[in-house]
Structure 1
Amino acid sequence: MTKSQVQPPFQLTIPKNIWTLLPSACVPAVLSFRNKTWEMRYYGDRNLKRFDSGWKHFAVDNNLKMGDACVLELMDDRHLKFQVQILRGDIPREIAESGCSFDTPIMIE
């Protein structure tokens, strides 16, 4: 997580290389973590695809910090439901050293 994702403006934009997996419309989205859910809107109809202010609630409720990582697993692409795993600044060395960045997220198939 970067500063702008876990502090004001709390903006989580979606990397370009996964845009094709998500709708090109403004639709409801749900993030689930530890048996709790957060509802928000996904703005897939914008130049900068992102979640709305519901992301802020998720980040604050889960005490996300810079250096943490979130793994979002798309569970339902019709209703845009994601299961989230949080890595607390303890990203495995092989991933941290692989050169992955926001623009090149890790894709697990």
Structure 2
Amino acid sequence: MTESIGSIEINKDEILPLSDKSYVGMVLTKSNVKPIYSLYLPKKMNKGLPFTGDLAVLTYGGKKWNLFYDGAKTKYKFSTGWKFFADDNNLKEGDGIVFELSECNPDKIEFKIQILRENFPPELVPEDVEGINSDNPIIIN
């Protein structure tokens, strides 16, 4: 899907190179999407994030979503707003998502998001895996 924003075209399905900033990838499970909408960030990302609740912004496809990030007591989860992001982007169990930390300061945490659907890049799929599902997930490092 290609969207035009001003004079810039953005292909939402395009996989972009990561910068030198912290990132983490994960494959979404049933609890991350309808009807539960719960998303805990993997521990790998916790080092660079605050321990308090803060505004978080997810940027994807030229759009931004405001969420609340809760870092209290090892929760490291998105609460208010995650449902809207998931629904707006039609996220489903089995989709891959990469969170790249683009800004982290006392006022705001911002992540650049990439969504990987069905056709994962070959370098992410283990050679000995016949089918990918919630019982046989892909781990994105």
Fold similarity call, TM over 0.5: yes
Q: After TM superposition, where is structure 1 displaced by more than 3 Å over at least 4 residues in a row? A: 98-101
- Could you say which residue in structure 2 is the equivalent of 1:59? 86
2:115 to 83, 86, 107: 86
- Could you say which residue in structure 2 is the equivalent of 1:5? 32
Residue 101 of structure 2 is aligned to residue 74 of structure 1: yes
Cα deviation for residue 100 of structure 1 reads: 5.2
1:96 to 112, 115, 125: 125
**Structure 2, unpaired ranges of 5+:** 1-27, 128-136
For residues 18 and 82 of structure 1, the distance between their equivalents in structure 2, rounded to whole angstroms, comes to: 11
Residue 69 of structure 2 is aligned to residue 47 of structure 1: no
Q: Which has the higher strand share?
A: 2
> Higher Cα Rg: structure 1 or 2?
2
What does the per-residue CA deviation read over 1:39-69, in whole Å, with 9 as the maximum and x for residues that have no partner?
0110011332100131110000000111111
1:23 to 50, 67, 91: 50
Identity %: 39
> Could you tell which deviates more after superposition, 35-44 or 88-97?
88-97
Using structure 2 for the length normalisation, give the TM-score: 0.67
Q: Which has the higher helix share?
A: 1
